Amino acid sequence: MQRFFVCLFLCCSCLTSSITISQAQDKCGTVPYMQHLYKKHAVDPLQVEKWLEKRKQTLSTQNNQKQNSTYKIPVVVHVIHNGEPIGTGVNISDEQIISQINVLNKDFRRENTDATNTPTLFQPVAAGMGIEFILARQDPDGILSDGIVRKKGSRSIWSFSSEADLKAESFWPSEDYLNIWVTNLSGTLLGYAQFPFTTLPGLEGEPNIAATDGVVIDYEVFGSDDDGPFFLDPQFNKGRTVTHEVGHFFGLRHIWGDDDGCTESDYVADTPNQGSDTNGCPTHPTSSCGGVKMFQNYMDYTDDICMNLFTAGQVQRMQLILDDPTIPRRSTLLNSPGLEFPPGFTNDVALREILAPTAVTCLANQLTIKIQNRGIDPLNSLRVSIRLDNQPTTQQIVNLTQPVPVSEFTNVTLQIPNQTVAEHQIEVSVDLPNSQPDNAPSNNTIIKKFRVNNQTTSAPIQERFDISIAQSNFTSINPFGEITWQTSKTNYQNSASLATSGANAKLESWLVSPTIDFTQANEASIRFQYSFLENTNVEEQFFLLYSADCGQSYTTIPIELENSRITTLPNSPIHWQDNLIPLPELTGEANARIAFVFKGGNANTFYVDNIQLYENLSGIRLQPEQVFLAYPGNNNTLNITLNLPEKNPASITVYDLLGKSIASAQIPNAVNQTVILQTQAYTFGVYVIRIETNGQFYTQRVLLNPR
């Protein structure tokens, strides 16, 4: 992917239909915005630069007094997602967000580990600035915050033309916060920023400019894979897209001057003149405009791994912007209430998740929790209180092997008594961060239900829920509530259903298989159907989870829901969506599990049915009334895809019309697999297939034409 940015210069509201951006050619919207704005206000294009040049004289005297000061910038990250679970797709994890904040701090301070890669030629001008980007500690209402806002957007993909609508989805006052929106941007657009502007005559901007001030970034280039296994674009996986765009936010221009020639400038004296942007990661030195390109500069277009410096001149320019009170929404950030915790909040450890025990597992003898340090100092110790099934509470002081930095996360694992095969409840609380009282007890406790289940079976599996959930192979549990999966009448007799009307928005109901043995499987895959009527007023999320360790840990696959357009309940095959998902990670595993999880309260009833787990060939779904399907294989083989109501031993025999057997097989666990029969040579004609299982006989005449 090539790095294409759109950089909003001065005020994005000034764009008219006469201004167009060609992402594939211009790459950045700065130049057309500048030209349009200067023409509209009859302003000398060099006016801002002349003003900045005069400000350098003032800055030079102030710098002697500010050498040891640090600019602190409050950041709010608005994740505009599509309803995915946190940590999946556009709804990136808190850890990924924190990794990006770490990149900003290191890059702007020149504390990045790859600063040593700066060529010797440029090392004398490479510079950092005293700056700290801080995830906002309180929201505009003065309420404790982690600086992260998550919002399901009104569309799944956002383009440059819809950026005002994007920012209206979630916005904090731009005079107090650096707003960064993370979402799914269309095409090759990676990010864009709004430039600062001044209150000089003719450049006051328009009334709604404040409502769009900030930075927009595509989710696949936000964060660094140095800090975790995040799913990032391999060219832009070190967080430098955000470094680049925040550079624009503080007034830096592209290093080549946006002219595709050697005449224009970025107005920074110590960046060499170069004729065009640089893509990829070329070999140093690379010549341009009679000199050597500084393609390692964050304000070029090179791959992330190739970027490593700002110059002293660029740092001075950013300081000019931050120090001047005539520039709206830059200097005011330095005194934002978002930089401070609300009064009284100095020590806070937050319990974010109980990772183990999971909702359904074979073994529950350890507790793993995910905690976050929400205090103002590194976290070295805490107290964990555990209460199982309303028994007396046990407490333990945990001294962490590594201090947890402010805002960051860690996992803590403790042993608990092994739990019996049954449903249990665990209540976990954390407090006493660094042996001090916790100032925010509201985020200290989680109560979770879980089930220890040792029921086992072997692949293949078919589940139709014709009786009840309790009598099926599956078990149902809601870790955080009472609403669980039941059965309801549908066109498929009975189906698993989840009635969420009146349920809490945090509803999370699990439908979990027994432990499944796939050791004899050539491949593992699952097929199932679901049906639902979308409720546009709530977030509905549906996931397939799978485990290879009996449910001690799960991997999540989000299912992109398609509205089945039913009016009340499914009463026809056309009301169902069919899904076939390969699960190669389970092939050969002895302790696999799969789970269906629905999240979202006050949604319409959700239905699942006809679950089939395959151990070999898959891809053919039969209707419930079809017991089997016969079709030719290769080299005189015959394929029989079974669809039996229960798993039992079965015998299969194929006869010609003279009653001669041409193929047969004994299947110990017959239910829904595809059986490949080796036959005697057979010709085009009618054959009789007879299946015997559990005292039942199924006979069918079929017309076969061998391949």
Is residue 557 within 8 Å of residue 585, measured between CB atoms? no
- The closest of 477, 693, 492 to 574, measured between CA atoms, is 492
Q: How far apart are CA 324 and CA 310, in angstroms?
A: 21
The two structure tokens encoding residue 117? 């890669």
- The closest of 594, 587, 619, 620 to 608, measured between CA atoms, is 594
The two structure tokens encoding residue 241? 């897209």
β strands within 508-632, DSSP E: 508-512, 515-517, 525-532, 541-547, 555-558, 577-582, 593-599, 606-614, 628-632
Q: Would you give the DSSP letter of residue 304?
A: G
Of all helices (H) and strands (E), which one includes residue 544?
strand 541-547
- The closest of 591, 353, 331 to 459, measured between CA atoms, is 591
Is residue 477 within 8 Å of residue 512, measured between CB atoms? yes
Q: How far apart are CA 296 and CA 288, in angstroms?
A: 14
Q: How far apart are CA 238 and CA 307, in angstroms?
A: 9
List C-alpha distances in Å: 588 to 283, 461, 484, 522.
Answer: 47, 15, 31, 8
Instruction: Residue count of the chain, please give it.
Output: 707
Q: How far apart are CA 2 and CA 6, in angstroms?
A: 13
List C-alpha distances in Å: 581 to 149, 522, 528, 614.
Answer: 32, 15, 9, 10
Is residue 561 within 8 Å of residue 540, measured between CB atoms? yes
Beta bridge partners of residue 527, listed in sequence order: 580, 612
463 assigned to active site: no
**Pairing mode of beta strands 126-127, 394-404:** unpaired
- Which of these is catalytic: 84, 163, 220, 245? 245
Backbone angles phi, psi at 234, to 5 degrees: -60, -20
- The closest of 155, 168, 170 to 76, measured between CA atoms, is 170
The two structure tokens encoding residue 284? 């140093």
Is residue 367 within 8 Å of residue 357, measured between CB atoms? yes
- The closest of 104, 92, 193 to 149, measured between CA atoms, is 92
Of all helices (H) and strands (E), which one includes residue 168?
helix 163-169
Residue 504 CA neighbour count, 13 Å, CB half: 11
Is residue 469 within 8 Å of residue 609, measured between CB atoms? no
Active site residues: 245
